[in-house]
Amino acid sequence: MNPVLSICIVFAIMLAGIRLRWNLALSILAGSFVLALFFGLSPLAWLKAVPAALLTEEAFILCTIIAVILAFSALYSATGQSEGFMRAIRGQVRSRSLLLVFFPALIGLLPMPGGAIFSAPMVESAASELRISRTDQTLINYWFRHLWELAWPLYPGIILASSLAAMPVTRIVGIMWAGPIISFAIGWVCILRPALRNAPALPPTPQSQRARTDWIGAVPLATAIVGAIGGEWICAALWPERPMEYGVIAALICASAVSLGLARTQWQAVLREARRDNTMTLLGVIAAVFIFKEVLHQGDVVQALAQTMSGDRALVALSVGLPFLVGFVSGITIAFVGATFPLLFGLAQSMNEPQLIPAILSLGLYSGYAGIMASPMHICYLMTCKYFHQDPGHILPRILVPGLLLIPAGLVSYVLLQP
């Protein structure tokens, strides 16, 4: 069977499971099992893929980050610091658009997976005055949380691309600087503007509702953001052989401690409230995503896609198609970068055109980013849908269009970067 058709069937099965209200993790596991059968793996091989996927440092780091994010988010909300910081920002902001995108974009500076679950309550609070539907809140939180992913130098995908292309991260940022601007423009046209069409104007905040103490809510958040940025650099400098995400974990633990410390005598009430989350459910979804990713690897799915798209097709078609498909199937940036960029760069070298590598890198990043943003496997997408109680299959068509619009931007970038 054609690999692309096989993948379409797998995603149809997963989305059908979600629509039938199966457990989300179970739907993804069912998809991974069918994917394994389509690509020549036996049921026993699929079972062996489970420990191979979960007993890894990568899985440990991601699960730890998600658990700490949820703990920090719960503490930040239960202490009232989140609400206070929102009031402080609300007192300074009269723009409806800025109020809605401020927190997702701010949290987007944290180079961590699953960060959308942290900004979701803030978007919900900001949208409460504007009569924004929960569907639109889901889209706003998800899209604007990822504004910086194409150019922020601390994102793992950018760092990995830098290593594979043998060029400094600063040069990649110089190539991709327009990415966040383009992403914001697409989000404004396709998501934010329609959501605000019937929203009322923001009323001014009465002086009586403002308090200087509200700004104290910025301290835990600043600890998380600055600590994550500094922690990644420290890890890279002192322990280059270890993943930089350990710095993010340390920063989030420190931020949780700061949040709890600022709560003072309310500790027991805060901790009681903070326990009311769905950590285990979300960790189950992450485990299912990792099993799906391992089946992709063991089934040589990327190689099968490359063979399907090879032959007479031009290098530009491969640079669009492969990163997009792998990003769409996996929902993980480092998956499409790590799986397709070595192949694309090697192809450019074999054609004696290494000068095309910066253009290929740019097109590949835009295309892969389009794939992960349109992917029902993206962890932030799944977590955001779960928070706002939205059906991932129902919302998917709304996110496909803005996601696909990133590809023409990549093609323009490819043309402009031609030597």
End-to-end CA distance of the chain: 40
Express each pLDDT in 8-61 by its tens digit.
Answer: 788 788 778 867 777 778 888 888 899 899 988 999 999 999 999 888 887 888
Q: How far is CA 41 from CA 30, 38, 47, 300, 306, in A?
A: 14, 8, 10, 10, 19
- Same domain membership, residue 410 and residue 344: yes
- Same domain membership, residue 213 and residue 83: yes
How many whole angstroms separate alpha carbon 233 and alpha carbon 239? Answer: 10
Q: What is the pLDDT of residue 415?
A: 92
Q: How far is CA 45 from CA 48, 49, 56, 292, 295, in A?
A: 5, 6, 18, 13, 9
Of residues 90 and 344, more confidence is placed in 344
- Same domain membership, residue 380 and residue 278: no
- Same domain membership, residue 272 and residue 314: no
Give a yes or no: residue 33 inside a domain: no
- Same domain membership, residue 366 and residue 246: no
Of residues 112 and 108, more confidence is placed in 108
Give a yes or no: residue 116 inside a domain: yes
Give a yes or no: residue 376 inside a domain: yes
- Mean pLDDT (the chain) is 82
**Domain-terminating residue out of 282, 311, 342:** 282
- Same domain membership, residue 218 and residue 190: no
Q: Which amino acid is at 42?
A: S
Give a yes or no: residue 400 inside a domain: yes
How many whole angstroms separate alpha carbon 317 and alpha carbon 175? Answer: 20
Q: What is the pLDDT of residue 204?
A: 61
The percentage of residues in the chain with a pLDDT greater than 90, rounded to a whole number, is 22
Give a yes or no: residue 241 inside a domain: yes
Whether 100 contacts 123, CB under 8 Å: yes
- Same domain membership, residue 175 and residue 101: no
Distance of CA 31 to the CA centre of its chain: 21
Longest dimension (CA), the chain: 70
Express each pLDDT in 145-177 by its tens digit.
Answer: 999 999 987 777 887 788 788 788 788 889 999
Least confident of 148-162, 262-276, 294-308, 393-407: 262-276
**pLDDT confidence band for 312 (50 / 70 / 90):** very low
Q: What is the pLDDT of residue 264?
A: 65
3-state secondary structure of 247: helix
**Domain-terminating residue out of 282, 308, 337:** 282
With residue 38 as reference, give the H or E element that holds it.
helix 24-38
Q: Is the pLDDT of residue 265 over 60?
A: no
Give a yes or no: residue 37 inside a domain: no
- Same domain membership, residue 410 and residue 345: yes
Domain range spanning residue 126? 58-130+209-282
Give a yes or no: residue 19 inside a domain: no
Whether 119 contacts 255, CB under 8 Å: no
- Same domain membership, residue 246 and residue 224: yes
**Domain-terminating residue out of 232, 254, 282:** 282
How many whole angstroms separate alpha carbon 387 and alpha carbon 282? Answer: 11
- Number of domains composing the chain: 2
How many whole angstroms separate alpha carbon 99 and alpha carbon 112? Answer: 23
- Which sign, positive or negative, has the C-alpha torsion 406, 407, 410, 416? negative
- Same domain membership, residue 167 and residue 100: no
Q: What is the pLDDT of residue 211?
A: 62
Q: Is the pLDDT of residue 381 over 60?
A: yes
Q: What is the pLDDT of residue 412?
A: 95
**Length of the chain as a residue count:** 419
- Same domain membership, residue 386 and residue 263: no
How many whole angstroms separate alpha carbon 143 and alpha carbon 101? Answer: 9
Q: Is the pLDDT of residue 1 over 70?
A: yes
Give a yes or no: residue 139 inside a domain: no
- Same domain membership, residue 408 and residue 329: yes
